[in-house]
């Protein structure tokens, strides 16, 4: 192929990326620029270089006609390598093939499909390096885009390179744009390169016309080549894209009827099969249409036929033809396609639906069946579009509203938010029953990052359940679950909590049903905590699975049973990894992370946050992401990276305050208080943490007071402000004894000695050590430090060394250097010299390396580990190669012993 003019730097970037992929360090790269700027030409260059180097090429292109068909791009891309699917784990293989319309499976999710694609490409890349090109990313079906975003972020250890091309102004809602891949801006050609390109295509052009064309094309290569035949450029100044479309439209209108009709069918159709286009054109013209009739379109440079496929030479050409199609002709084309398509009942139905201009309940019912089939295969975005069409064809307004709601919930898992809001605006809530309308409203609130319903929303939903719950018990349970889980951070008075409790009591759920437990815990954690903890004890984590474990874990956190909560949530996250239910997984991992923070299990907390963020990178859950990030910031602050932690807190503050979610700011203040303690600024720590505990505080939160108390009391003691905190401690002490919350009982007991006078301090310390504190490492560390310091100040230096030594060792192990240093200062003051101990070999491992090593030691294969951790098995293999020398081992069977040291 002829060299591209003026694209040397872009080609160098592409060649370098291809070289890295050949060396086993793949990834993703997006070419971003205006229509016609040469992105497709650059893809052609990298494809030619790849083939010349023996690299296998997989390609697909987005199209407006196929943008609503889930996984249509993926089918096009993966067909050449699907023979390798036999090496996948059985469940993953079944789900992937079902998504690609080759088999059936239950519970197909985009996430599970993405995992299968990652493993398939990793396998294929071991045989020969792979280049994947995706043109017109902005028109790629959303599910394929989500899958490729997931995959592209995980190719660093694979010989696979993804290169996409997209229009810069149409990528705002693309999952690939949100994946933060490397981007290469493809800009218009510089003046000299534009002149050289024009002169190569139209030598001898008159100087005046040449200058006008250069000015009109403004460096756009497509414009320079396609407008070169125009002699009159003196008309009204049009945007470049409009001018090009006008030129292409004029070419299309000049085609003789058979070729022109085939072009219209091809522009409207969702397939590029030439036989299908010829048959549908023949239906419309009532005559036979053959390949020979296409010659004028090929000669005009509008279309070309290759291997049974009919394609426009450029998307702007297709857009020009499609835009000129009248509504009546468009309907006729869809009707012709519905009669012509063979072998695909869903596509026949879809075109029949698009050809129908008036309400038709029979077609609407068929579309509902199609939506169910597509959803079962993971195509929720297609299901949403189909349900929306069914709603438009529904004669009964109530049926239309019901179908729009079904579309909203299908979109809820697949996005985009703009489509959901548009649909919600079309739903007449008056046609729904009150609980149904409330579920729609609260779902939208939960998805939005810019608003928060707060306590008022939960009160409204509880009142609805009390009035209408008996009409549809299942819907009542669903409404309260959504409402309570989204509204956990709201603050309530006694009367309001009583209302919430009465709503829960009105449900027809058994006493020990996990959903009832979480609803009771979230409505009245203080009043019902003791009973809930007793019922939780009859549910060992190993005896339940899936959603039940998650509900029990959430309930346990709400009533202060944090060790139980972490056990449930850890087990629940393992279940959800197996099913790849990413929305629920992110929620459970976030709760797990906070539970681990409260127990000072910092590595486990970091692992949970890292995984939650990795999953949310492709499947975004705005407010849950903020909550997870703040859990990670707590660990970061305790580890001494206080600037990072406070930066995260500032961003979160702006996002949450902007949405009016002030009680969620309690997490922000916890981070700020922890960071201030790490920085040795107890006064600032006190100011941040007291804000969580006083009702007039901006970030006051009833439930988070127990989370803040230990550090608040330490900050008060170090800054000489214990008198200011006495009322808070007294209130929480009364609450702890009234409710029996284990977390609160330990927190008030561990901090009580700080408030005791000299004669009673010893008894207060003794009581605190007998308050079950062994299960609460952070409180125990604080208590040990306070006790050792008190003993030393009582001139009992020898006695002070043991608690101070224990505190020091705990903080060292927990990775909390500022706290460890304070214990070290006290120890040295007691007369003890510190002897540094050798660090365990596992301290050299990152959290991801430790996780992989642990799973490998348990006997899992690389492929099984990859599926568990959402990475390619090649990444697992390479990580193990880095782990072995760090642990001083040379084989997998030595890992268990090395990890135990």
Per-residue pLDDT tens digits for 348-365: 999 999 999 999 999 999
Question: Over 90: is that where the pLDDT of 423 sits?
Answer: no
Question: Over 70: is that where the pLDDT of 233 sits?
Answer: no
Q: Among 107-111, 434-438, 694-698, name the one with the lowest average pLDDT.
A: 107-111
CA 705 – CA 739 distance, rounded (Å): 14
Domain boundary among 552, 569, 599: 552
Residue 870's pLDDT band, with cuts at 50, 70 and 90, is confident
Question: Over 60: is that where the pLDDT of 620 sits?
Answer: no
pLDDT 10s digits, 785-796? 999 999 998 889
Question: Over 80: is that where the pLDDT of 839 sits?
Answer: no
Residue 602, in any domain of the structure:
no
Q: Find tokens 């649909």 and name the residue.
A: 423
**pLDDT value, residue 867:** 83
pLDDT 10s digits, 118-138? 999 999 998 899 999 999 999
Angle between the N-to-C axes of helices 345-354 and 361-376, in degrees from 0 to 180, rounded to the nearest 10: 140
Residue 546, in any domain of the structure:
yes
Q: What is the 3-state secondary structure (H, E, C) of 108-177?
A: CCHHHHHHHHHHHHHHHHHHCCEEEEEECHHHCCHHHHHHHHHHHCCCCCCCEEEEEEEEHHHCCCCHHH
Domain boundary among 326, 355, 384: 355
| pLDDT above 70 coverage of the chain, percent | 93
Instruction: Kindly state the average pLDDT of the residues 379-393.
Output: 92
Angle between the N-to-C axes of helices 110-127 and 90-99, in degrees from 0 to 180, rounded to the nearest 10: 110
Q: Which of 464, 566, 480, 559 is nearest to 515 (CA)?
A: 480
Residue 646, in any domain of the structure:
no
**pLDDT value, residue 416:** 65
Residue 449's pLDDT band, with cuts at 50, 70 and 90, is low
Three-state secondary structure call for residue 303: strand
Does 25 lie in the same domain as 161? yes
Instruction: Kindly state the average pLDDT of the residues 52-81.
Output: 92
Residue 243's pLDDT band, with cuts at 50, 70 and 90, is confident
**pLDDT value, residue 333:** 95
Q: Find tokens 């694609």 and name the residue.
A: 117
**Domain of 27, in residue numbers:** 8-185
Question: Over 90: is that where the pLDDT of 421 sits?
Answer: no
Does 241 lie in the same domain as 160? no
Three-state secondary structure call for residue 891: coil
- E strands present in 261-407: 303-306, 309-312
Q: Of 836 and 250, which is predicted with more confidence?
A: 250
Quick check: 560 and 743 in contact, CB under 8 A? yes
Three-state secondary structure call for residue 342: coil
Does 544 lie in the same domain as 468? yes
Q: Among 484-493, 527-536, 798-807, 880-889, name the one with the lowest average pLDDT.
A: 484-493
**pLDDT value, residue 623:** 62
**pLDDT value, residue 451:** 59
Does 71 lie in the same domain as 144? yes
Q: Among 528-532, 695-699, 704-708, 865-869, name the one with the lowest average pLDDT.
A: 865-869
**pLDDT value, residue 208:** 81
Quick check: 562 and 595 in contact, CB under 8 A? yes
Spell out a b/e string for 739-761, using b for 16 or more CB atoms within 10 Å of the CB, else e. bebbbbbbbbbbbbbbbbeeeeb
Q: What is the 3-state secondary structure (H, E, C) of 436-503?
A: HHHHHHHHHHHHCCCCCCHHHHHHHHHHHHHHHHHHCHHHHHHHHHHHHHHCCCCCCCHHHHHHHHHH
Question: What is the DSSP code (8-state) at residue 234?
Answer: -
For the chain, the average pLDDT equals 88
Residue 743, in any domain of the structure:
no
Domain count, the chain: 4
Does 351 lie in the same domain as 251? yes
Does 327 lie in the same domain as 249? yes
Residue 774, in any domain of the structure:
no
Question: Over 90: is that where the pLDDT of 430 sits?
Answer: no
Quick check: 821 and 677 in contact, CB under 8 A? no
Does 345 lie in the same domain as 280? yes
Residue 275, in any domain of the structure:
yes
Does 241 lie in the same domain as 162? no
Question: Over 90: is that where the pLDDT of 399 sits?
Answer: yes
Q: Find tokens 């084309």 and name the residue.
A: 333
**pLDDT value, residue 817:** 93
Neighbours of 262 (CB within 10 A): 28
Angle between the N-to-C axes of helices 397-414 and 361-376, in degrees from 0 to 180, rounded to the nearest 10: 20
Half-sphere exposure for 531 (CA within 13 Å, toward CB): 12
Question: Over 90: is that where the pLDDT of 171 sits?
Answer: no
What is the distance, to the nearest Å, from the Cα of residue 453 to the centroid of all Cα atoms in its chain?
22
Does 179 lie in the same domain as 243? no
CA distances from 544 to 458, 539, 582 (A): 28, 7, 20
**pLDDT value, residue 122:** 93
Which range, 221-225, 507-511, 556-560, is most confident?
Answer: 556-560
CA 39 – CA 546 distance, rounded (Å): 46
Residue 320, in any domain of the structure:
yes
The arrangement of strands across the sheet holding 130-135 comes to: 56-61, 130-135, 160-167, 27-33, 182-185
Instruction: Kindly state the average pLDDT of the residues 238-265.
Output: 84
Contacts by residues 579-585 (CB-CB < 8 Å, ≥ 24 positions apart): 579/107, 579/109, 579/112, 579/546, 580/109, 580/111, 580/112, 580/115, 581/109, 581/111, 582/109, 582/111, 582/615, 582/616, 582/619, 583/413, 583/619, 583/621, 584/547, 584/550, 585/612, 585/615
**pLDDT value, residue 773:** 94
CA 313 – CA 535 distance, rounded (Å): 67
Q: Among 446-460, 604-618, 693-707, name the one with the lowest average pLDDT.
A: 446-460
Residue 461's pLDDT band, with cuts at 50, 70 and 90, is confident
Spell out a b/e string for 217-239, using b for 16 or more CB atoms within 10 Å of the CB, else e. bebbbbbbbbbbeeeebeeeeee
Three-state secondary structure call for residue 27: strand
Residue 511's pLDDT band, with cuts at 50, 70 and 90, is confident
- DSSP states of 245-291 as a string? HHHHHHHHHTS-HHHHHHHHHHHH-S--BHHHHHHHHHHHHTS---G
Region for 342 from its dihedrals, namely left if φ exceeds 0, alpha if ψ lies in -120 to 50, beta otherwise: beta
Q: CB-based burial of residue 551 (10 Å sphere; 0-12 exposed, 13-18 middle, 19+ buried)?
A: buried
Instruction: Kindly state the average pLDDT of the residues 93-122.
Output: 83
Q: Of 142 and 131, which is predicted with more confidence?
A: 131
Residue 726's pLDDT band, with cuts at 50, 70 and 90, is very high
**pLDDT value, residue 349:** 96
**pLDDT value, residue 541:** 61
Residue 618's pLDDT band, with cuts at 50, 70 and 90, is low
Sequence-distant (≥ 6) Cβ neighbours of residue 415 within 8 angstroms: 142, 173, 175, 381, 620
Question: Over 80: is that where the pLDDT of 742 sits?
Answer: yes
Sequence-distant (≥ 6) Cβ neighbours of residue 616 within 8 angstroms: 582, 586, 624, 625, 628
Does 252 lie in the same domain as 169? no
Residue 254, in any domain of the structure:
yes
pLDDT 10s digits, 280-295? 999 999 999 999 999 9
**pLDDT value, residue 119:** 93
Q: What torsion do the CA atoms of 483, 488, 490, 491 make, to the nearest 10 degrees?
A: 120
56-61 and 130-135: which strand pairing? parallel
Output the domain CATH number for residue 884.
1.10.10.10
Does 457 lie in the same domain as 345? no
Does 165 lie in the same domain as 21? yes
Residue 177's pLDDT band, with cuts at 50, 70 and 90, is confident
Three-state secondary structure call for residue 33: strand
Quick check: 111 and 84 in contact, CB under 8 A? no
**pLDDT value, residue 415:** 62
CA 132 – CA 164 distance, rounded (Å): 8
Domain boundary among 160, 185, 210: 185
Instruction: Kindly state the average pLDDT of the residues 74-103.
Output: 88
Residue 234's pLDDT band, with cuts at 50, 70 and 90, is low
Residue 448's pLDDT band, with cuts at 50, 70 and 90, is low
**pLDDT value, residue 366:** 97
């Amino acid at each position: 192929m002829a060299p591209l003019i003026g694209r040397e730097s872009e080609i160098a970037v592409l060649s370098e990326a291809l070289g890295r992929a050949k060396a086993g360090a793949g990834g993703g790269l997006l070419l971003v620029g205006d229509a016609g700027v040469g992105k497709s030409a650059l893809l052609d260059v990298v494809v030619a270089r790849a083939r010349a180097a023996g690299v296998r090429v997989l390609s697909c292109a987005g199209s407006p006609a196929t943008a609503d068909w889930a996984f249509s791009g993926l089918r096009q891309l993966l067909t050449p390598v699907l023979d390798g699917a036999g090496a996948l784990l059985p469940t993953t293989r079944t789900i992937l093939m079902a998504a690609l319309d080759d088999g059936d499976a239950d519970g197909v999710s985009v996430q599970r499909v993405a995992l299968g694609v990652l493993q398939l490409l990793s396998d294929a890349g071991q045989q020969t390096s792979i280049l994947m090109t995706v043109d017109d990313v902005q028109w790629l079906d959303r599910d394929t885009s989500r899958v490729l975003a997931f995959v592209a972020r995980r190719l660093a250890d694979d010989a696979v390179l993804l290169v996409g091309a997209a229009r810069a102004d149409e990528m705002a809602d693309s999952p690939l744009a949100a994946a933060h891949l490397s981007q290469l801006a493809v800009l218009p050609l510089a003046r000299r390169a534009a002149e050289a390109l024009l002169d190569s295509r139209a030598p001898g052009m008159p100087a005046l016309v040449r200058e006008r064309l250069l000015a009109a094309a403004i460096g756009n290569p497509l414009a320079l080549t396609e407008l070169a035949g125009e002699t009159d450029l003196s008309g009204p100044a049009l945007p470049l894209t409009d001018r090009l479309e006008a030129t292409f439209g004029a070419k299309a209108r000049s085609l003789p009827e058979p070729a022109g009709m085939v072009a219209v069918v091809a522009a409207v159709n969702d397939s590029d099969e030439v036989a299908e286009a010829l048959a549908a054109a023949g239906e419309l013209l009532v005559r036979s249409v053959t390949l020979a009739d296409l010659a004028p379109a090929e000669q005009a440079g509008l279309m070309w036929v290759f291997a049974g496929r009919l394609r426009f030479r450029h998307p702007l050409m297709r857009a020009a033809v499609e835009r000129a199609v009248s509504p009546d002709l468009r309907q006729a084309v869809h009707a012709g396609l519905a009669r012509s398509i063979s072998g695909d009942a869903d596509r026949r139905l879809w075109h029949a639906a698009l050809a129908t201009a008036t309400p038709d309940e029979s077609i609407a019912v068929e579309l509902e069946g199609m939506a169910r089939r597509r959803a079962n295969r993971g195509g929720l975005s297609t299901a949403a579009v189909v349900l929306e069409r069914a709603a438009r064809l529904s004669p009964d307004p109530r049926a239309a509203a019901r179908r729009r709601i079904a579309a909203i919930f299908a979109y809820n898992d697949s996005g985009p938010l703009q489509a959901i809001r548009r649909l919600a605006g079309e739903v007449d809530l008056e046609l729904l029953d009150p609980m149904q309308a409330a579920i729609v409203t609260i779902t939208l609130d939960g998805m939005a990052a810019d608003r928060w319903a707060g306590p008022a929303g939960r009160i409204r939903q509880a009142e609805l359940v009390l009035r209408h719950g008996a009409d549809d018990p299942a819907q009542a349970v669903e409404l309260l679950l959504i409402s309570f889980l989204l509204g956990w951070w709201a603050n309530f008075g006694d009367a309001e909590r009583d209302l919430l409790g009465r709503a829960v009591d009105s449900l027809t759920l058994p006493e020990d049903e996990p959903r009832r437990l979480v609803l009771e815990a979230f409505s009245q954690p203080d009043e019902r905590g003791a009973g809930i903890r007793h019922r939780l004890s009859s549910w060992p984590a190993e005896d339940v699975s899936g959603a039940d474990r998650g509900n029990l874990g959430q309930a346990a956190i709400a009533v202060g049973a944090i060790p139980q909560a972490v056990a449930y949530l850890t087990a629940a996250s393992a279940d959800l990894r197996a099913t790849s239910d990413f929305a629920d997984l992110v929620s459970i991992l976030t709760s797990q992370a906070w539970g681990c923070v409260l127990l000072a299990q910092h590595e486990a907390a970091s692992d949970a946050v890292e995984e939650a963020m990795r999953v949310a990178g492709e499947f975004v859950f705005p407010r849950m992401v903020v909550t997870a990030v703040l859990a990670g910031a707590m660990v970061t602050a305790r580890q001494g990276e206080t600037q990072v932690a406070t930066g995260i807190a500032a961003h979160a503050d702006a996002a949450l305050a902007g949405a009016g979610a002030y009680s969620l700011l309690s997490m922000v203040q916890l981070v700020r208080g922890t960071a201030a303690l790490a920085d040795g600024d107890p006064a600032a720590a006190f100011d941040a943490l007291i804000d969580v505990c006083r009702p007039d505080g901006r970030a006051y939160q009833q439930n988070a007071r127990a989370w803040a108390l230990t550090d608040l009391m330490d900050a008060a003691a170090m800054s000489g402000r214990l008198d200011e905190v006495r009322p808070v401690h007294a209130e929480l002490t009364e609450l702890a004894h009234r409710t029996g919350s284990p977390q609160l009982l330990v927190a008030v007991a561990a901090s009580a000695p700080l408030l005791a006078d000299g004669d009673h301090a010893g008894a207060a310390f003794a009581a605190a050590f007998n308050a079950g504190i062994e299960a609460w490492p952070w409180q125990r560390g604080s208590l040990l430090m306070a006790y050792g310091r008190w003993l030393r100040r009582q001139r009992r230096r020898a006695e002070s060394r043991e608690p101070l030594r224990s505190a020091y060792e705990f903080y060292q192990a927990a990775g909390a250097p500022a706290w460890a240093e304070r214990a070290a200062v006290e120890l040295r003051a007691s007369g003890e010299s510190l002897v540094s101990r050798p660090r365990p070999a596992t301290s050299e491992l990152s959290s991801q390396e430790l996780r992989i090593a642990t799973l490998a030691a348990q006997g899992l294969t690389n492929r099984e580990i990859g599926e568990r951790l959402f990475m390619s098995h090649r990444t697992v293999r390479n990580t193990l190669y880095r782990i072995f020398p760090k642990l001083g081992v040379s084989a997998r069977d030595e890992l268990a012993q090395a990890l135990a040291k």
